[in-house]
Structure 1
């Protein structure tokens, strides 16, 4: 007997009619959660995220784009650098989810190591170093 998923067409929408499933897909990847743990504290340049999480520029950018496209992050450019932060709109529209994430992100196994790595680079201008290597 073959089973067919009859619920594949069901989508979850927020009050504005936007699909919420994309948010959960974005949050289902550990690297994206690690990025969020850093951005909870402050906006960061892609270069900083690369160094703190030991990611390549292409991987960091790919994950940041997914988080931005579903509305979790906002970004702006300053000269040749792109800065990302948690979107105020996301925090307002998904208040309960945001509160839950803030509580749970600190429980990630990589949380302490990622933040310790960032502390080591606070006094170094990683963006200037990144510019030299590109």
Structure 2
């Protein structure tokens, strides 16, 4: 692990917003798009940066990729992970994202339904 790369990856607000969401659940790109109101290309770019630094990982299921915080990242960086979770929990932008996450989960919209509504995956 390259600690400089990890901090560079985490120094972007959008990547921290994605990290915050993935600390709660395993999510597909379309979920992150909807919750954070970001474009697919923007979400994918940020996910690739987090993935390249070993912060997140993904699992393919059919045509969808589901992202989560890498268990090894948590284990190897427990203090950093705990600090981020406790700090982001109280920041207004992340509180808003958490509320949007809850609304999105309650809506039960699947990736297939999201795409049918005219959004790109």
Instruction: Return 47-56 or 124-133, whichever deviates more.
Output: 124-133
| 1:98 aligned residue | 81
Higher relative contact order (CA closer than 8 Å, sequence separation 6+): 2
C-alpha deviations, 1:86-123, integer Å up to 9, x for none?
A: 10100111121111111111132212211222222222
Specify the structure having the higher radius of gyration (Cα): 1
Determine whether 1:127 maps to 2:116. no
Determine whether 1:87 maps to 2:94. no
Structure 2 stretches lacking a partner, 5+ long: none
The DSSP-based 3-state class of the residue aligned with 1:121 is: helix
C-alpha deviations, 1:56-79, integer Å up to 9, x for none?
A: 000001101101110010101111
Q: CA RMSD in A?
A: 1.3
Q: How many aligned positions are there? A: 117
| 2:99 aligned residue | 116
Alpha carbons 1:73, 1:85 under 8 Å: kept = yes
TM-score after normalising by structure 2:
0.89
Structure 1 stretches lacking a partner, 5+ long: 1-17
| 1:61 aligned residue | 44
